[in-house]
Structures are given as C-alpha cells and as structure tokens.
Amino acid sequence: MIRLFPLFALCAACTPTGEQEAEKTYATQTEALSPDYRVLLAEESLGNVSWVRREASAPPPADAKAIGETWMARLEERDALLGAGFAGKGPDGPVISLDTGLTEQEFDGWVRENGWSVPDHISWTFVPALNLPPVADVARDGIRVWPASTARTGAQMEALLYGRVELRDGCFYVGEGNSEPDKLAWFHAEMGLDRDAQGFYVLRSRVSGQTMARIGEQMNWGGPATAVIPPQAEKALRAACGDAPIYVVGSPESSARFNTQYPPSIPPPPPPAP
C-alpha cells in the first residue's frame, strides 16, 4: 500500500510574491505483496559480494604489539576498525589480524596518501565495494531521511529475528515479532532504498544490487543487530521523525525471499508398515 500525505499547508510556505508553493508530500507503504523472488534471485550480482583477505607473509617482529596498536588506532580514527585478532589467548598479545571497513582499493589508497608501510606480519580483511547509492533518485522525494550508517558493518549476532518494516509519512518504523512497528528503524550501510518497476519502495543490497525486500513485507534479520549511529545522524532522524526508540534492524530480508532461496525442508514420508 503506497500513499502520499501533505506535510504542511502554512502561510510560511507562500512565495514572496504571495503564490502558494506546492505542498511537500511523503510516502506511506505499510504492506506489500511479495514479488517473484525466483526471478529476482536469478539476476546477476553487480560485483563481488565476498570479503577480500590478504594473508600475513612474515613472522611478527619484536615490536609487533606496538605496530598493531598503531594500526588499530588509525582504523578507529577513521571508523573503519571492524575487528582484530591477537596472538595468544587474550587481547594482551600482538595483533595478528585486522578486519577493516574499507575495500582493498580504499585501504591501499589511504596508505599511499599517508606514506605508510603496511606490516606484512598482519592478515587483513577488506569489505566488498558498494555499487549503489544509499537512496536511488526515484525514491528520494518520498522520504524525510534515510536512517542508515555510513560506516561499514562488522560481525553481527545471528539469532534469527522477524517482524515488519513500514514507511509512514516518510519515516521508517519497525516492529519485532508480531508487535506494532512503532520504533524508528536503522539500517546497515550495505542496505539501500529504491523503487521497483511496480512503484513499491524496496530494500536493495548496495553490494550485489539485488532486491532484499519490499517495505511492508514480513522480514527476517540477524540480531540483535548493532550499528554505528553518529550523533549528527541521530539528531537529523529525531528532527525528521520524532523521539520513538531507535531499533537497529540492520540488513533485513523478505521472509518470502529467504524461503525461496532456502525452501523449508519437508520430512520424508514414514516407511511403510511391516
């Protein structure tokens, strides 16, 4: 269901000449029929969807601990540290692996710009490139704000949660389980917004380009999800959509899409009676 609502019709919206400006409208989509995910799943990916790993090629030097701390600090300053591995049984050992929120090309360019040498005793992982903008042009005018992180997503909890995401008057709301969607939704950086050929607002993977769900469908997601929500982004969301609690829905997927890709197993019939 897609509807458009007028924002305001105030005298302040008049032009200096006294002519009334067009009322600003925002979209509402609270339910949607599932598209044919068999067709959508067959679409070719826009790019590589896997993380890239660069293995260590040398043993740790004597100052490996200090080197690791330096690189962790650099990545943290850039909001690009997604994880770290240490030698031994705890975080007191030297760093032996770093998961970055950068593509391999972004990382190499960053290193060149700063004149650094990459330590080869550390294994590195890099995220796949984002191939789509956060919001497609055809979807931009229907929303007040796109509530998503800009920092890339690291390892997440994987409990299978379900619920629905709605778009109401330009704002996104989520309800877990069978509860009413009354919390402000927040998405991972890898999730984008678009409209499909039928005009429905859809969530698309910014990495693969594939349609993950229509807004209003029953969805699944891994959780409890976490995300970096910068203070300015939260302020903008609050100004646009109010003071409801923020719920990180992360990277949801239509339940219909999931069941199409991974059909529920049907138990075999019982053996015949002897």
pLDDT at 148 over 90: yes
pLDDT bucket at 22, cuts 50 / 70 / 90 = low
pLDDT at 216 over 80: yes
Distant-in-sequence, close-in-space partners of 227: CB < 8 Å, separation ≥ 6: 149, 151, 153, 186, 187, 188, 189, 248, 250
pTM of the model: 0.85
pLDDT bucket at 270, cuts 50 / 70 / 90 = confident
pLDDT bucket at 7, cuts 50 / 70 / 90 = very low
Q: How far, in Å, CA of 134 to CA of 111, rounded?
A: 26
Q: How far, in Å, CA of 10 to CA of 234, rounded?
A: 27
Tell me the CA end-to-end span of the chain in Å, nearest whole number.
55
pLDDT of residue 67: 97
CB 72 within 8 A of CB 124: no
pLDDT of residue 269: 73
- Going by C-alpha positions, the residue among 37, 33, 29, 28 that lies closest to residue 212 is 37
Q: How much is the average pLDDT of 80-100?
A: 91
Share of residues in the chain with pLDDT > 90 (%): 81
Three-state DSSP at 140 gives helix
Q: How much is the average pLDDT of 104-129?
A: 97
